[in-house]
Amino acid sequence: MRLVVIGVNHKTAPVALRERLAFVGNDLNTALTELKVFTDGSVIVSTCNRTEIYVLVPQSVPQLASTESSPNNSSATMTAATDEHIITIKKWLAKFKNIAVSEIEPFLYVHRDTHALTHWLRVAAGLDSMILGEPQILGQIKQAVHLSQTEHAVSSQLGWLIDQVFAAAKRVRNETNVGAQAVSLGFAAAKLVTQIFDNLPSRTLLVVAAGEMNRLVTMHIAGLGVGRIIICNRSPERAEALAAELRQANRSVEVRRLDELPQLLAEADIVSSCSGSMAVLIDKNMTAQALKSRRYQPMLMIDLAVPRDIDSTISRMDDVYLYSIDDLQHVIAGNLEQRRQAAVDAELLVSQLVVEMERQFQVRKVGAHIQQYRTNTHVQVQQLLTATLKQVENGEVDTEAAIIELSRQLTQTLTHAPSKLMRKAAREGDSQLLDFVVSGLHDSYRKRR
């Protein structure tokens, strides 16, 4: 298959080295352009915790041009050719990043052929992620592929493999539960929202404090299509920064003062709070007044703060669903265990899909060889036919003799390749191949009679 994956081991590589080996901005475009010179297609996946180069290597390299290739050593020659290409890519990477090969070598891993295809599918399906089953990596791979296509770095053969990987990854996610449960605070919070509310464009999200944890939860909930977002924060600058990020996705966002919280609470269907305050920000009386103003429409409150921002006794009130960070982490822990169990099924399916893809690849590869063989045979037949017709037209031979000679030449042409293959099988003692060719030819002869 000649597929090779070279990646940076983010578990062992120092942070500084990982940062230097990452591909960002114009680096990616330039790298893909350079890789085209000595590969048959490439894709570079570079994320916050993953740097991998996926390439199809050519069947031979200049260094092996003098190596004699015989039927007995063709496999060894191909392996040696792949080894040479791997060395070439490592040297290119080191030069491109202006780092010595000896400095990066201990922190690189390499997968080839079946192992490379298995790795790519596991990555695309979220089985090789820090968070098991997370879906973002598939989107990141698709972005990387799109960039490679834009730079004309995806060959037809690599493009076919990419299509197979995407289709297989979709099957893994659809046919197993590896990505079914929320395993991050943001996903868990968003899942709660969808379980409690419908018609999300009509709902209001109140964000109390704009710290990083609350930002992540807010981005997930906003991504569900919540119609209105209100941000309360002591620091107007941080609130405006989050508001600007949300507005880029065309969200309706308001920034309000923290002292307006009692009035704003009545407008909120969903509250996410993580202030770092030592005192409770939302108490029972404030919530009771808000519910009364809302005519007791249900509210979801998510308290991510330690110590708590929201009075824990509110959980006993009707029409309020209160979840603390401990509650969410218990949910996540249970979901992670379910994902781990589902991962066993997913890994088995990956193995089956890789075998299926390799079989399809071989059929596709043989199909190309068959087409080439037919084309060459057609050319030979046309040459013989043209020469025969010319002899007849020039009166060099009578028609009957020309037809007899043409039949003899066509028989030699059409039987040359299978005869050569049978002799080779017999000479090398490959009885299985010999029996297969002989039985196939006999079957073909019987069907034509």
Walk along the chain (449 residues) and give the pLDDT tens digit of each residue.
Answer: 689 999 999 889 998 898 899 998 888 999 999 999 999 999 999 987 789 999 999 876 544 333 344 444 455 556 777 889 999 999 999 999 999 999 999 999 999 999 999 999 999 988 887 667 777 788 899 999 999 999 999 998 999 999 999 999 998 988 887 776 656 778 888 888 999 999 999 999 999 998 888 888 999 899 999 999 999 998 888 899 999 989 887 788 999 999 999 999 999 999 999 998 888 999 999 999 999 999 999 999 999 988 899 999 999 999 999 999 888 877 777 777 777 787 788 889 889 989 888 888 777 767 666 777 778 888 888 888 888 888 888 888 888 888 888 888 888 887 887 788 788 878 888 788 777 777 777 666 665 55
CATH class of 3-175: alpha beta
**Number of other CB atoms surrounding residue 351 within 10 Å:** 13
Rg (the chain; Cα; Å): 33
E strands, 257-313, in order: 270-273, 299-303
Q: Which of 48, 249, 348, 438 is catalytic?
A: 48
Q: What does residue 108 show for φ and ψ, rounded to 5 degrees?
A: -105, 145
**Number of other CB atoms surrounding residue 199 within 10 Å:** 8
In the chain, list all ranges with CATH 3.40.50.720.
185-331
The pLDDT value recorded for residue 446 is 62
The pLDDT value recorded for residue 72 is 47
The pLDDT value recorded for residue 77 is 57
Q: Is 445 exposed, middle or buried (0-12, 13-18, 19+ CB in 10 A)?
A: exposed
End-to-end CA distance of the chain: 39
Q: Which of 45, 75, 42, 70 is nearest to 57 (CA)?
A: 42
6 contacts 86 by C-beta, under 8 angstroms: yes
Chain centre to alpha carbon of residue 253: 33
Element (H, E) at 94: helix 74-96
Superfamily classification of domain 185-331:
NAD(P)-binding Rossmann-like Domain (3.40.50.720)
The pLDDT value recorded for residue 67 is 38
The pLDDT value recorded for residue 166 is 93
The pLDDT value recorded for residue 117 is 94
Three-class DSSP category at 122: helix
232 is an active site residue: no
3-state helix, strand, coil in the chain (%, to 5): 60, 10, 25
In the chain, list all ranges with CATH 3.30.460.30.
3-175
158 contact partners, CB below 8 Å, separation of at least 6: 40, 41, 42, 43, 56
Q: Is 100 exposed, middle or buried (0-12, 13-18, 19+ CB in 10 A)?
A: exposed
Tell me the whole-structure pTM to 2 decimals.
Answer: 0.60
The pLDDT value recorded for residue 442 is 67
